[in-house]
Amino acid sequence: MSRDLNINVHHLTRVEGHGNIVVNMKEGVLETAHLSIVEPPRFFEAMMKGRSFHEAAIITSRICGICSLGHQLTSLVATEDALGLEISEQTVLLRKLLIHGATLQSNVLHAYFLAAPDFLNAGSVFPLIATHKDVVLRALRMKRLANDIGDIVSGRAVHPITPVPGGFTRIPEKAELLEIKRRLLEEALPDGVETIETMKSLAGAIPQFERETEYISLKHPEEYALYQGDIFSSDSGSVPVHNYLDVTNEFIVEHSTSKHTKYNRSSYFVGALARWNNNSSQMVDEAQAAAEAMGLKPNCHNPYMNTIAQVAEAVHCILDSVRIIDILIEKGLKNEKPNQTPTRYGRGVGSNEVPRGILFHDYTYDNKGNIVKANCIIPTGQNLANIDDDMKKLVPEIMNKSKEEITLDLEMLVRAYDPCISCSVHMLEVDFIE
Amino acid sequence: MKPQVAFFDFTSCEGCQLNKLNLENDLLDILKHVDIVEFREAMDDKADHYDIAFIEGSISSPSCVERIHDIRRRSDILVALGSCAVNGGINAMKNLHPIDEVRETVYGKDKYLFATLPAMAVSSVVKVDYEVRGCPMNQQDFLKLLIALVLGKQAPKYNSPVCVECKLKENECLYNRGMVCLGPVTRGGCDALCPSFGQFCTGCRGILSNPNLDGMLEIMTNHGISLDEAKKRMLLFNSNEVQL
Amino acid sequence: MKRLQDVKAKEARDLYYPTMCKVVGARQITDLEKWYELQMPAGQDLGHEPGQFVEVSAFGIGEAPISISSSPSKKGSFELCIRQVGTLTNVLKRYEQGDMIGIRGPFGKGYPIEKLLGKDILIIAGGIGLVPLRSLINYVLDNRKDFGRLIILYGAKSPAELLFKEEIAIWETRDDVELHITVDQPDESWTGNTGVITTLIPGLDLNLNTTIAAITGPPIMYKFVIMSLKSKQLNDDQIYVSLERRMKCGVGKCGHCQINGVYCCQDGPVFNYTDIKPLEEAL
Amino acid sequence: MECYSLLRADVPALIDHLGKFGEVVAPHRKGDVSYSFESVLDSSQVVLDYNRTLLPLKKLFLPPVEKLMDFSLKNMSFDPVELTTQPRVFFGVHSYEMQSILRLDHSMLSGNAESNYFKRRKNSRFVGISFEPDDFHFSESVGIAIEEMEGFDLFLNEIDDDFQLYVLSDNGRSLIQGFKQIRTVEAELSGKREFKKKIRYHYNRLPRIFQYAYKSKVWADVAEKCVGCGACTLTCPTCFCFDVTDEVSVTAEDGLRQRTWDSCMLSTFAEVAGGENFREKTINRTRHRLYRKFKYITDEEGLPWCVGCGRCTAFCPAGISLPDIVNELIQEDEKAQYHHTVRV
Ligand SMILES: Cc1cc2nc3c(=O)[nH]c(=O)nc-3n(C[C@H](O)[C@H](O)[C@H](O)COP(=O)(O)OP(=O)(O)OC[C@H]3O[C@@H](n4cnc5c(N)ncnc54)[C@H](O)[C@@H]3O)c2cc1C
Ligand code: SF4
Ligand code: SF4
Ligand code: SF4
């Protein structure tokens, strides 16, 4: 069939930031299929120049409000690496708890507010308040608890306050943590189970599309990697975080204010599905069982299943948070002051898994503790090439559908990646020439 | 009829958008007062006229300028949400460097591919009726403004320093802990959130209308940081607002 | 110094609870000002003196001090006139007959009527300053034989901003009222005086021994009016002014209305000029 | 005077005993280097040696934020706040703090007496304690000795690390009724604690200084450093200015009216409609603050309205010192006198 197709979704909805889907087919030949990133660049690198290590995380957290905790913690890890700041076990545990809270929040938001309306044929979550009130209330409840973890441990879920280089400016009270634990077990866990049921009922609406690609995430010897670890590629195995540039290989494309990346192939996948494919056996058992119930198996090559992997992670975060709280309480909360005395100056790299995938921050400090060079590589930026490759495979496969249906499939594809476009345009590698 | 409300985002981190979706406990009450007719981040719909348009983010490209004019034309009341929109916020830090240099450092020879302007407050392009300050915008503030608009009363204005709320909460002053804090010259209304959590005030709600900046710099340098650092600190969220 | 043990339990009162009064009349009388007639819950009198004020409150919005514009000699209800300048006053604009408005008061010191008896009363009102002075004017008119001459000088920005036009028309026809009106910016129809209010003073023929002047107007008016009156050889103690300050409580606690050492809400708002002359913050 | 000896180690037991009367409020550690008055949950946590609390005791009589009423927007009606007050004992109160309460009594109960304040104040008992003055205390300069016992029911005077317990009122006597760990002794009021003289003149000479200080150059010097944060007045135990605001709930159906501490040091404090501001400049505001402490009320009541706790000075981020300001005014006045004499 020789078909002409011209799709231009201007400012795609229900994603963070501004992107357009552009597809162009002439007489059955696909000329263009890509996600064009039109968000104005924000030039964080210029802002970072000369800033003190006390300010770095405050600034980089503003790269993205959606992933602000991820940026903040990754920035702190990079700074601590560069300045040789040792942190305590308690700090690490509290950070992991925060990551769980943020991941839970983000995954619930994506699954219920951004993706679910597609499955239910609604334009947004708001009409669902009338038609599926209990589902909406459940989503709100789960989100509230996730945000309360952020509010209590870090002062504020969006742009957290207490995590600073070397530790925390305030340690939560025991009673506050116990209350979170109670709510995790009494509210979030049953809600999580219900969520799995809801997702099972929607599974039929998930498009069947497969494209095998390279999956990149962190890998940790002892746990499902969210906070630190080694870089792991499903194609070629482990790479130390310090060598991340060998993996990311950024390049500029004209249709995007955000740079693209590639490693062993023309593109790679980061995010919940990559974490699942690389590390699923390290999830808590209940989460693995949940995944299976929702039809998600290891080595899944359907990008639409990313949403399902996020739901499985939500269950993991709920249960693993309880474990962390138990350890914190058992060890006794200590009123530690952040360790902010540098033992060296120079370069440091930090990497964590944030909801949308693997994130890198890389700073070089002068011996006054001010930044001379900074680089951040953001998950959504790393997914852009993969999204474009998916589109190029997907469009010919669904060519027989109507233009509206094709558009919806493409929109759902992009949304499945849970792209955070605001993030992706905000930080690009740069050398400051003094 | 309920007011028709829309949300728009410009150059920003979208944290303010998220902060509205994070009003879980109040979201359903809010929806009793207003109809949300446009909210790209959460829904597909578009509308032609808005009783209240909430704007997040700074204006930083020619296409932003066009879009904000268009929104203003179609809105009765226009509210700037969050530091980026109110005064340029953290984005405005880039204005401290010559713009061409900034573009070149990032994109090299490809710098002309992507148009950019200095990061501007919404109010420096179109008329802004109300503002909700903070980075991210303060949720309680946002609710207060919304209720005020629903009741037809004027929105609260904040022109008292963060220290006031900090004192009312009986926090130990960070200056007594050897830290440096921007609370004395920063607009309150945040319930002194950062100092209450042991962190210095970063000035995210903007500087008071009639500040003693020299006095503030002197306080900071008397507490152990250099003048240069003190100035940088003050500019963190206020590069467009203060001249140092 | 007042001590705890000197205070009897019943003396300590809930100072901040309003009495809900019914609006029995409401009319927008200029672009910016609205007039209200209010009734106390049991129809009782408010019991005020000319020059006193009440705290007007609307729930959800707040409170503001507003002068009582009617004379105590008017029974059964009292009147206010409110200029829409901000949050509360703009919300009050929507209040109509039948609505309830909260009132606390009357508060403050008004005009010392006993000292005014038998005197010539010179009223000098600038703009909205006529609102509180109208209480005194109507009191004098209702007890006309107890006072000497009644001279009213009234200045407004423009003819459109003149308040209480019908009442002024009546005052104009009475031969026991000497009325002089001026506007800063006349329109085509205006045939009266133009110029600021001080231009009316030099032409006055006053009886120095018996005249009492009562001045109310915008802050900058006082200095110039007092200067003109002084050049007419009026003594300080023959001059009364009514001052406006920010007020939150009306009962001498919140501190907002303090003028040096005195509280505008307790010691005023009507002051004898001798009392505030030494206060730098007063005028 | 009835006097007993009390071992330091027995003080927690005394605090527990006081708990029979009602809630006990006492100084506790707060933050790194600070203290605050809190309800006693564990008497061993009470601090006996402290310099000053962050907020003064006034916070418990005139709370920083206080609900005045609930209202309904639907019915245009309000519900009064029924304040029920429990008996309270304030333990470990310094003499200047007690004096500040007596001054606050005057401010809140003279003229129109306020019922909420009265109710909170009614059922309270005060147990004083002596203290070692630090660099910021200057209560003696304003006429308040460390052992000033006016207003207290009991007073603990530290002597050689232990205490003498003075019984100062019938209420005080009933507070310690049944408390066994004390022995009757001879009262011995030590005058050992040395106060450095902080204000150069005796306080009764200050009204004269302030009479002529209105146009002083000192105000401009202070204004250059002051950033108008309000810390000095908010923490001052004799300051009581407030703001009243209405808060409406998200349902827009009901809400509450509340008052919040305000400060005359804030630039918006004296602003009125039309943009007029009666104390627009920092100079005006600083002067007003000091005149409130040393002239306006003082002229009428004969006492300085500053009790020398030193909070305004210790907590000013700009390091502005109240005694320094007063001393500079004194110096300026002396210079003026000198020139005057020379000319004559
Ligand atoms: C003794 C007295 C008698 C008054 N009588 C009348 C009267 O009869 N009719 C009348 O229209 N107005 C009168 N006023 C002025 C009136 O109180 C203010 O215009 C009113 O408080 C403004 O309230 P708002 O909420 O509408 O304005 P807001 O939105 O609160 O404020 C608008 C502006 O007014 C200022 N303001 C706030 N509170 C006061 C206040 N108490 N006084 C002055 N400015 C304030 C604010 O700082 C701001 O600049 C009187 C004031 C006093 C002190
Ligand atoms: S911590 Fe900061 S905001 Fe709080 S009182 Fe001190 S300077 Fe002010
Ligand atoms: S505490 Fe210091 S800086 Fe703050 S208002 Fe008072 S004098 Fe000024
Ligand atoms: S003025 Fe200063 S020293 Fe005096 S009582 Fe107030 S806070 Fe204490």
Of A289, A282, A344, nearest in space to A311 by CA: A289
- Pair A337, A350: CB distance under 8 Å: no
Question: What is the residue with the minimal CA distance to atom 8 of ligand 3?
Answer: D226
C residues 173-232 closer than 8 Å to D (CB): 218-219
Distance CA B234, CA A89 (A): 34
Q: Shortest CB distance from C219 goes to which of D116, D271, D276?
A: D276
| C184 has pLDDT over 60 | yes
Of D230, A135, A174, A386, nearest in space to B159 by CA: D230
What separation in Å is there between the alpha carbon of D197 and the centre of ligand 4? 16
- Pair B155, B101: CB distance under 8 Å: no
Instruction: Give the CA-trace dihedral at B57, B59, B62, B66, to 10 degrees.
Output: 80
- The angle subtended at Cα B7 by Cα B3 and Cα B11, nearest 5°, is 155
CATH 3.40.50.700 fits B4-151, yes or no: yes
Of C244, C206, C264, nearest in space to C127 by CA: C244
> Distance from first CA to last CA of chain A, Å, rounded?
58
Residue C87, min C-alpha distance to chain B (Å): 5
Residue with tokens 């672009």: C31
Q: Quote the pTM value.
A: 0.89
Of A340, A380, A346, nearest in space to A360 by CA: A380
Residue B44 has a pLDDT of 59
Residues of chain D with pLDDT under 50: 344
Distance CA C23, CA C38 (A): 5
Burial class of residue D186 in the structure, from the number of CB atoms within 10 Å of its CB (0-12 exposed, 13-18 middle, 19+ buried): exposed
Residue A196 has a pLDDT of 92
Residue B221, min C-alpha distance to chain D (Å): 11
Q: Shortest CB distance from B102 goes to which of A15, A43, A66?
A: A43
Distance CA D41, CA D26 (A): 10
Q: Shortest CB distance from A158 goes to which of B19, B61, B63?
A: B19
Neighbours of B1 (CB within 10 A): 5
Distance CA A406, CA A385 (A): 20
Residue A431 has a pLDDT of 30
Would strands A371-377 and A357-365 be described as parallel, antiparallel, or unpaired? antiparallel
Residue with tokens 């009213």: C152
Instruction: Classify domain C113-276 at the CATH topology level.
Output: Rossmann fold (3.40.50)
What separation in Å is there between the alpha carbon of D78 and the centre of ligand 1? 23
Pocket test for ligand 3, best of D54, D219, D232, D326 (most atoms within 8 A of CB): D232
- Pair A83, A369: CB distance under 8 Å: yes
* Record: contact B215-D54, CB cut-off 8 A: no
- Number of structural domains in chain A: 1
Among the bound ligands, name the one nearest to the CA of residue D226: 3
Q: Shortest CB distance from B177 goes to which of D31, D251, D263?
A: D31
Q: Is the beta carbon of D312 within 6 A of some atom in ligand 4?
A: yes
Pocket test for ligand 4, best of D58, D135, D307, D321 (most atoms within 8 A of CB): D307
CATH code where residue A98 lies: 1.10.645.10
* Record: contact D248-B147, CB cut-off 8 A: yes
Residue B101 has a pLDDT of 67
DSSP letters along A179-246, please?
HHHHHIIIIIHHHHHHHHHHHHHHGGGS-------EEEEEE-SSS--SBS-EEEETTTEEE-GGGHHH
Q: Shortest CB distance from B198 goes to which of A15, A170, A430?
A: A170
> Distance from first CA to last CA of chain D, Å, rounded?
55
- Pair B52, B79: CB distance under 8 Å: yes
B residues 185-214 closer than 8 Å to D (CB): 185, 208-212, 214
Contact status of D282 with chain B (Cβ, < 8 Å): yes
**Residues found in chain C:** 283
What is the chain A residue with the closest CA to B36? A126
Give the ligand 2 atom nearest the CA of D231. Answer: 5
What separation in Å is there between the alpha carbon of C22 and the centre of ligand 2? 46
- Pair C37, C24: CB distance under 8 Å: yes
DSSP letters along A270-322, please?
-SHHHHHHHHGGGS-HHHHHHHHHTT--SS---GGGHHHHHHHHHHHHHHHHH
* Record: contact B151-D252, CB cut-off 8 A: yes
* Record: contact B184-D267, CB cut-off 8 A: no
**Residues found in chain B:** 244
Contact status of B219 with chain D (Cβ, < 8 Å): yes
**Cβ–Cβ pairs < 8 A, chains A and B:** 177
Distance CA A383, CA A417 (A): 8
Residue A390, min C-alpha distance to chain B (Å): 23
Token pair recorded at residue D98:
């007690």
DSSP letters along D121-151, please?
HHTEEEEEE-----SS--GGGGT--TT--TT
C residues 229-248 closer than 8 Å to D (CB): 244-246, 248
Residues 6+ away with beta carbon under 8 Å from A370: A50, A51, A52, A53
Of A380, A417, A430, nearest in space to A71 by CA: A380
B115 three-state secondary structure: coil
Of A168, A83, A123, A166, nearest in space to A370 by CA: A83
Neighbours of D165 (CB within 10 A): 25
Q: Is the beta carbon of D308 within 6 A of some atom in ligand 4?
A: yes
What is the chain C residue with the closest CA to D279? C281
Of C105, C87, C112, nearest in space to C19 by CA: C105
Burial class of residue D335 in the structure, from the number of CB atoms within 10 Å of its CB (0-12 exposed, 13-18 middle, 19+ buried): exposed
Neighbours of A382 (CB within 10 A): 31
> Distance from first CA to last CA of chain C, Å, rounded?
30
Q: Give residue limits of the domains in chain D.
A: 2-184, 203-343
Question: What's the average model confidence in pLDDT over B54-64?
Answer: 88
Q: Shortest CB distance from D299 goes to which of C4, C259, C261?
A: C261
Token pair recorded at residue C198:
């001080």
Distance CA D69, CA D83 (A): 11
Q: Which phi-psi region, left, alpha or beta, contains residue A180 (left: φ > 0; alpha: ψ -120 to 50)?
A: alpha
Distance CA C19, CA C13 (A): 14
Token pair recorded at residue B173:
């002053």
Q: Shortest CB distance from C61 goes to which of D108, D246, D288?
A: D246
Distance CA C86, CA B46 (A): 34
Residue D5, min C-alpha distance to chain B (Å): 35
Pocket test for ligand 2, best of B164, B165, B167, B171 (most atoms within 8 A of CB): B171
Which CATH number is correct for C2-107, 3.20.20.70, 2.40.30.10, 3.30.9.30, 3.40.50.261?
Answer: 2.40.30.10
Distance CA A160, CA A153 (A): 9
Residue A224 has a pLDDT of 96
Would strands C150-156 and A347-354 be described as parallel, antiparallel, or unpaired? unpaired
A385 three-state secondary structure: helix
Interface test with D, best of C3, C5, C7 (most D CBs within 10 A): C7
Residue C11 has a pLDDT of 83
Q: Is the beta carbon of D89 within 6 A of some atom in ligand 4?
A: no
- Pair A314, A184: CB distance under 8 Å: no
* CB-based burial, D70-81: b 16+ in 10 Å, e otherwise: bbebeeeebeeb
Residue B110, min C-alpha distance to chain D (Å): 47
* Record: contact B90-A14, CB cut-off 8 A: no
Flag whether D touches B (3+ CB pairs, 8 A cutoff).
yes
Question: What is the residue with the minimal CA distance to atom 6 of ligand 2?
Answer: B173
Distance CA A244, CA A233 (A): 11
Neighbours of A381 (CB within 10 A): 30
B207 three-state secondary structure: strand
Residues 6+ away with beta carbon under 8 Å from D328: D218, D221
Residue B130, min C-alpha distance to chain C (Å): 14
Among the bound ligands, name the one nearest to the CA of residue C29: 1
Chain A residues within 8 A of B10 when measuring between CB atoms: 40
Interface test with C, best of B154, B157, B159 (most C CBs within 10 A): B154
Flag whether A touches C (3+ CB pairs, 8 A cutoff).
no
**Residue D242's beta-bridge partner residues?**
D261
Neighbours of D258 (CB within 10 A): 18
Residue D343 has a pLDDT of 54
Which residue would you say has higher pLDDT here, C65 or D195?
Answer: C65
Residue B113 has a pLDDT of 54
Token pair recorded at residue D81:
């706040």
Of A96, A76, A41, A163, nearest in space to A361 by CA: A76
Pocket test for ligand 2, best of B165, B181, B190, B217 (most atoms within 8 A of CB): B181
Question: What is the residue with the minimal CA distance to atom 4 of ligand 4?
Answer: D306
- Note down pLDDT in tens along chain A; length 434 residues: 566 767 666 655 545 556 788 888 787 777 777 877 766 666 777 778 889 999 999 999 988 888 899 999 999 999 999 999 999 999 999 999 999 999 999 999 888 888 888 777 777 777 788 888 888 899 999 999 999 999 999 999 999 999 999 999 999 999 999 999 999 999 999 999 999 998 888 878 888 899 999 999 999 999 999 999 999 999 999 999 999 999 998 888 877 777 888 999 999 999 999 999 999 999 999 999 999 999 999 999 999 999 999 999 999 999 999 999 999 999 999 999 999 999 999 999 999 999 999 999 999 999 999 999 888 888 888 998 899 899 889 888 888 888 888 888 888 888 888 877 555 543 333 232 32
* Record: contact C86-B151, CB cut-off 8 A: no
All CATH 3.40.50.80 domain ranges in chain C, comma separated? 113-276
* Record: contact D266-B216, CB cut-off 8 A: no
Distance CA B23, CA D126 (A): 45
- Pair A138, A105: CB distance under 8 Å: no
3-state secondary structure B176-206: HHCCCCCHHHEECCCCCHHHHCCCCCCCCCC
Residue A287 has a pLDDT of 94
**Residue C270's beta-bridge partner residues?**
C242
Q: Which phi-psi region, left, alpha or beta, contains residue A46 (left: φ > 0; alpha: ψ -120 to 50)?
A: alpha
* CB-based burial, A248-268: b 16+ in 10 Å, e otherwise: bebebbebbbbbbbbbeeebb
